[in-house]
Structure 1
């Protein structure tokens, strides 16, 4: 059978290494939806042609039959998105608090069944804060109050070299993605060294990081020796989510906000921004970064290393 050109294949908006599920992981449905939709447009020359656009859809989350929130998502892995959302919002303490998550696209709903309910549900969901979250827009509770309880590995225990970061960036550059084919989405990935463990795209960067949080929980993956990459800007909320996931090193193709920088500095987190190809800026936590001599040759080394993986 002849292979289709890469631009005619639907890209993977969710891709992960195969790991065993952790004990007590909730039962999850598998309700992936098509990622792209074909539409006819008229270009600047008046020519009609068909293009792909991301298939954004609404998913309303019910926890123990109580409506919680509506998330706008591609639907690449909605169950992990919901689980990660509950964890990152502080509504559950661990994945074992959830018995099951069932997504039904006929009614655009996710039904979460907990094992013992959510303590102080009304209090935890009463305070909503408007944020810069793409496709999300609110957070519950006083997330900043949790900062002092977060402990990340010391700089001597979690480090990143110039060469490793270059390989990470090159892998992201080469990846066949929804963004390359249709635009209008954000991508996030989790690395251990230069090995990509999981990659997620969604209509908002918050959805993508929440999905990775769900994946980490289901597979009992710790964040202390990991690197998190995102195409989106590093706001205080994105930094906070990465910190709650235990990840000390974060890189973004985009920039860093003042509150994101302040929070990362307070937490001792390493932030790289404007990270693309050969160039990046280390905004905070430079004591984790290992620059190398001959930095001009690192890009070529990264291309070769990425091609061999």
Structure 2
């Protein structure tokens, strides 16, 4: 057994600046294989940043539909070896038997969001209906996104990782998790909220990436009524958000953003069409 690797590593490099090449160094994010095992069976292997691993284990199980509550995950054992990291979990509440009946194993690339799916139908699985009446002030949403870069500790060092954050309009708190994969970052955030007993239904999920359908699926799974991101969504993400009742805000740049679905949750918005 070896120590859990650091989330970042400083490496030597040659840097060309102003037509001059010289020796330099840069802090980069670590990337390591992380295996999720349930009852001794490997479910998935993800390439991810080795940080907030307990949150990752619980959040992944929740967003993949293996459990509904953090207590169903049981205790998470972190086992580190030269080959990578294994997150060992024994599902409780009868979940282990149900999992054994549909056991599968797969390996996923960085940020893979469709882990262990068994059919094409599973890729577009039914999502819970989000009929939450939460509304947020546009100015507050803009301010929350503006705070996000300053809260990204790993990205401040590396400029190479994604972040998923939860903003609570009521308390104005911002909870942030980072990873080289945007889906991994959201899984870690889901785990953090579950372990802290916070309801995703009472706030907004913020992403520093584009919005793909997997992010909508994961956010819907934890009950988040609003997802906002700095980049554009995919067409399937928009259709999925519309169908499940999620407000999808994207292309947030400074004070500008675009609302693609269920705009009623964002108040004081500009209603005039802008080409």
Measured against the shorter chain, the TM-score band is: 0.7 to 0.9
- Contact 2:46–2:107 (CA<8 Å) still a contact in 1? no
CA RMSD of aligned residues (A): 2.4
**2:72 equivalent in structure 1:** 97
- Contact 2:206–2:228 (CA<8 Å) still a contact in 1? yes
Counterpart among 162, 180, 183 of residue 138 in structure 2: 162
Determine whether 1:145 maps to 2:145: no
Taking the TM superposition and a 5 Å limit, the aligned residue runs for 1:8-157 are 33-44=5-16, 45-106=20-81, 108-115=85-92, 116=94, 118-121=96-99, 124-126=102-104, 134-136=110-112, 138-141=114-117, 142=122, 144-147=124-127, 150-154=128-132, 157=133
Determine whether 1:246 maps to 2:223: yes
Compared with structure 1, are the counterparts of its residues 137 and 151 closer, same or farther at alpha carbon in structure 2 (3 Å cutoff)? closer
**1:199 equivalent in structure 2:** 176
SS state of the match for residue 242, structure 2? helix
- Partner deviation per Cα, 1:79-131 (whole Å, 9 max, x = no partner): 1101111111112232222221011223522211223452343553449798x
**1:23 equivalent in structure 2:** none
- Contact 2:62–2:221 (CA<8 Å) still a contact in 1? no
Task: Return the alpha-carbon distance in structure 1 between the equivalents of residues 243 and 102 of structure 2.
Answer: 25
Gaps of 5+ in 2: 271-275
Q: Normalised by the size of structure 1, how large is the TM-score?
A: 0.76
- Contact 1:153–1:224 (CA<8 Å) still a contact in 2? no
Q: Normalised by the size of structure 2, how large is the TM-score?
A: 0.84
**1:291 equivalent in structure 2:** 268
**2:273 equivalent in structure 1:** none
Gaps of 5+ in 1: 1-30, 294-309
Task: Return the alpha-carbon distance in structure 2 between the equivalents of residues 40 and 136 of structure 1.
Answer: 29
